[in-house]
Amino acid sequence: MTNSIEELSSADAIFIIGSNTSEQHPLIAMRIIEAVKKNNARLLIADPRKIPLTEFAEAYAPLTPGTNLAFINGMLNVIITEELIKEEFVNSRTEGFKEFKQSIIKYTPEAVSEITGVDADTIRTFARIYAKAQKGSIVYAMGITQHVTGTMNVSALANLAMLTGHIGRESTGVNPLRGQNNVQGACDMGALPNVLPGYQPLNDEKILEKFKSSWGEASNFGNGMTASQMMEEAAKGGIKSLYILGENPMVSDPDTQHVEEALSNLEFLVVQDIFMTETARFAHVILPATSYLEKDGTFTNTERRVQRVRKAIEPVGDSKADWEIICMLLKAFDCYAEYESPEEIMDEIRALIPSYAGITYNRIERVGLQWPCPDIMRPGTAFLHKDRFSRGLGRFSINEYRGPGEAVDEEFPLIMTTGRIQHHYHTGTMTRRSWALNREYPHGFIEINPFDAERFGVKSERKVKVTSRRGSLTTTAIITSKVKLGVVFMPFHFGEEAANKLTNRNFDPVSQIPELKVCAVKIEGVS
Amino acid sequence: MKKVLTTCGYCGCGCNFYVDIRNNEVIGVTPKQDHPVSRGRLCVKGWQGHSFVNHPDRLRHPLIKHEDGYFKEATWKEAIEFTAKTLKGIISRHGGDSVGVFSSARCTNEENYLMVKLTRAALKTSNIDHCARL
């Protein structure tokens, strides 16, 4: 997030797109509801499903999955046409406005309405409310990123914030809600193929020197493969071995059959996890790790706040904390790993990542600190881009709409979109083994609109067969007008009826994120 | 009863709570009143999502798959030596770039940092990523 969670309560307009906030980030949704109730904030929601927060929304846009970019461009068009832009901000803080303006002319509300299925006046309402606000916040999640245009979707939201000056101030900004507890931290630490820890570039000699002296001259400072590319290469034979730490691609990744082929094709698969997951079954060696309750360390939340994780109980059985296991392997490769505790590892991190330099265990004993925090005298940073953007001026980008990678046809007439539910988490390894949660939702389901249910002979709470161009599965139908006509929704938490058996491997060309939010399916009643 | 302050292991909100512990078992949680995100509240997973920790399915020992396709328990020494030896063999035959690493958004910063170091400094590959890609 460019801004802080706390700041949302003081926004006077909040635009949520592609985030089911009250189910996936309930405590952030509390701030949004507080903004509406106490601050009379105007809430705008664009989503193919009528998510619970729409109850508090002034306007709701039920857009067709995969058309976010057209919708955002439509809002940009209205803001320009109706002269709602924040000229002072555009002139002093940005560049590329002229070319951008040219590119946005064709996205009239009427043209965008055709693509998105949202009426033109609703698009105008969204644009006006957001642009005219004093403090407008944008909130998004995987409904924006898991598309073939995921990167452009995010860039378009950045255009929206720059055009209206809703960035670099309190209660504004472009705020992605990270799905997992430490996605932010894993990125910060450089668990990415194209940057070093702290997003430091691979081609800066001074930075490389710093890492060479810490890690050794012979370390690999190249640009590697993304997770999606590794999986493709494993299937083709280019990748011979994978080491998978705490992930379950057999349930979380698109096109399960392809993942199975890829994992079966490996010469050597190492899985480090707390349970025998669907993925671990393919392993040649399994290293039993501990959960967050059995170890010390830090997590960085979605607002960049670095917080302490503390060991509450001793490790179960003979399991070990992940850091201890990795240290054993580092030593087996003759690399330095003489750390007595995670705190000592943090000291090494602080020396290598400038934005973490001021974050010590001592300072975050009671409350966490938000990076950038470049030295121990500084308090951390509540919101980013105050006086300048990381690159200096903010650059307007040109993002031409293109449709999703897969379209419906006569045989596969419905768009399936996937997501999560409040009681379960990701591939369900933990929540499905937490009795009180599993009791509420012991199995998966598919949501279908009453008109579509009628059309395809689907009965409420009955078994249905769902088929895509990749495979098929049997699940339970839930008939609800929450989902838009022509759209079905399936949570992906349930391995035995894995939604990702159906999803496809169309990727965003820049980020390589799979388009998990759009695939074409057909549905038939089986009982 | 012992109470330990920690950060929730589920979503990116990063709520804090006290873990209530008796005899090395998690018996409940108590929200932290003055936390900037959770302000004394928790969601359903924050309240109820921790009993997995003592579930009988927990992996308790390292496992090595034998030729018959079955996993057999191993000591840590055996598992680490087997892993290191096999990875070294693959790297010497096919080069470091034939190896890939999926780090984890479930793990701590310290662990992710070490995983990056293991990948780039020990395995000598740059193929490292995690589920932020999803």
Cα Rg, chain A, nearest whole Å = 24
Cβ <8 Å between B109 and A349: yes
Residues A164 and A189 in one domain: no
Domain termination site, one of A177, A193, A226: A177
Chain A residues with beta carbon closer than 8 angstroms to that of B87: 241, 243, 268, 270
CATH code of A339's domain:
3.40.50.740
Helix (H, G, I), strand (E, B) or coil at B58: coil
A286 Cα to chain B: minimum distance (Å)? 5
For residue B127, give the nearest of A225, A284, A292 by CB distance: A225
Token reading at A269: 């698969």
pLDDT of residue B134: 82
Residues A130 and A277 in one domain: no
Residues A196 and A345 in one domain: yes
Cβ <8 Å between B83 and A423: no
Cβ <8 Å between A516 and B134: yes
> What are the tens digits of pLDDT across the range A17-60?
999 999 999 999 999 999 999 999 999 999 999 999 999 999 99
What residues 182-211 of chain A have any CB closer than 8 A to a CB of chain B?
182-193, 197
Residue A136: inside a domain: yes
- Residue of B113, B116, B118 to mutate, testing the A interface (most A Cβ within 10 Å of its Cβ): B113
Residues in contact with A43: Cβ distance below 8 Å, sequence separation at least 6, in sequence order:
A13, A14, A16, A32, A35, A36, A53, A56, A57, A58
pLDDT of residue B132: 86
Residues A98 and A211 in one domain: no
For residue B96, give the nearest of A220, A309, A349 by CB distance: A220
pLDDT tens, per residue, chain B with 134 residues: 899 999 999 999 999 999 999 999 999 999 999 999 999 999 999 999 999 999 999 999 999 999 999 999 999 999 999 999 999 999 999 999 999 999 999 999 999 999 999 999 999 999 999 988 88
pLDDT of residue B133: 85
- The CA distance from B78 to A452, in Å, is 56
Chain B residues with beta carbon closer than 8 angstroms to that of A350: none
A273 Cα to chain B: minimum distance (Å)? 8
Residues A470 and A496 in one domain: yes
Alpha helices per DSSP H over A177-321: 183-188, 205-215, 227-236, 249-252, 256-264
Count the residues in chain A: 527
Residue B3 near residue B21, CB atoms below 8 Å: yes
Residue A151: inside a domain: yes
Chain B CB within 8 Å of residue A32 CB = no
Instruction: Tell me: pLDDT of A516 over 80.
Output: yes
Question: Model confidence at A527, in pLDDT bands (50, 70, 90)?
Answer: low
Residues A258 and A366 in one domain: yes
Residue percentage of chain A with pLDDT more than 90: 99
pTM reported for the whole predicted model: 0.97
Residue percentage of chain A with pLDDT more than 70: 100
Residues A57 and A139 in one domain: yes
pLDDT of residue A160: 98
pLDDT of residue A410: 97
Residue A408: inside a domain: no
Chain B CB within 8 Å of residue A351 CB = no
Residue A279 near residue A253, CB atoms below 8 Å: no
- Domain of residue A226, residue span: 183-370
Residues A131 and A198 in one domain: no
Chain B CB within 8 Å of residue A275 CB = yes
Question: Dihedral sign, CA of A225, B108, A422, A319?
Answer: positive
Token reading at B122: 């020990």
- The CA distance from A383 to A7, in Å, is 9
Instruction: Specify the pairing of strand A59-61 against strand A42-46.
Output: parallel
Residue A392: inside a domain: no
Chain B CB within 8 Å of residue A146 CB = yes
Q: What is the set of domains in chain B, with CATH numbers?
A: 2-54 (2.20.25.90), 59-94 (no CATH), 96-134 (no CATH)
> What are the tens digits of pLDDT across the range A79-101?
999 999 999 999 999 999 999 99
Residue A375: inside a domain: no
Cβ <8 Å between A227 and B97: no
Cβ <8 Å between A323 and B114: yes
CATH code of A111's domain:
3.40.228.10
Peptide bond into A372 cis (omega under 30): yes
> What are the tens digits of pLDDT across the range A461-507?
999 999 999 999 999 999 999 999 999 999 999 999 999 999 999 99
- Residue of B114, B116, B123, B124 to mutate, testing the A interface (most A Cβ within 10 Å of its Cβ): B114
Query: Considering only CA atoms, which of A341, A1, A304, A297 is closest in space to residue A140?
Result: A1
For residue B118, give the nearest of A241, A313, A330 by CB distance: A330
Cβ <8 Å between B133 and A226: yes
Domain termination site, one of A370, A393, A428: A370
Residues A459 and A481 in one domain: yes
What residues 36-95 of chain A have any CB closer than 8 A to a CB of chain B?
none
Cβ <8 Å between B108 and A28: no
Question: Model confidence at A138, in pLDDT bands (50, 70, 90)?
Answer: very high
Residue A282: inside a domain: yes
Residue A500 near residue B134, CB atoms below 8 Å: no
Question: Model confidence at A431, in pLDDT bands (50, 70, 90)?
Answer: very high
Cβ <8 Å between A241 and B87: yes
Residue A1: inside a domain: no
Cβ <8 Å between A241 and B98: yes
pLDDT of residue A156: 98
Query: Considering only CA atoms, which of A256, A261, A229, A230 is closest in space to residue A243?
Result: A230
Query: Considering only CA atoms, which of A112, A42, A116, A118 is closest in space to residue A78?
Result: A112
What residues 404-443 of chain A have any CB closer than 8 A to a CB of chain B?
422-423, 425, 429-431, 433-437, 440
The total number of structural domains that make up chain A: 3
CATH code of A462's domain:
2.40.40.20
Q: For the stretch A120-140, what's the b/e string if a residue is b when 16 or more beta carbons lie within 10 angstroms of its beta carbon?
A: bebbbbbbbbbbebebbbbbb
Residues A120 and A199 in one domain: no
For residue A182, give the nearest of B62, B98, B109 by CB distance: B109
> What are the tens digits of pLDDT across the range B88-104?
999 999 999 999 999 99
Token reading at B111: 């662990």
ipTM of the complex: 0.98
Residue A437 near residue A424, CB atoms below 8 Å: yes
- The CA distance from A278 to A259, in Å, is 11
Token reading at A160: 């929206």
Residues A52 and A116 in one domain: yes
pLDDT of residue A310: 98
Residue A401: inside a domain: no
- The CA distance from A234 to A265, in Å, is 7
Cβ <8 Å between B104 and A308: no
- The CA distance from A291 to A513, in Å, is 27
Cβ <8 Å between B36 and A307: no
Residues A211 and A349 in one domain: yes
Domain termination site, one of A351, A370, A389: A370
Chain B CB within 8 Å of residue A504 CB = no
Q: What is the mean pLDDT of chain A?
A: 97
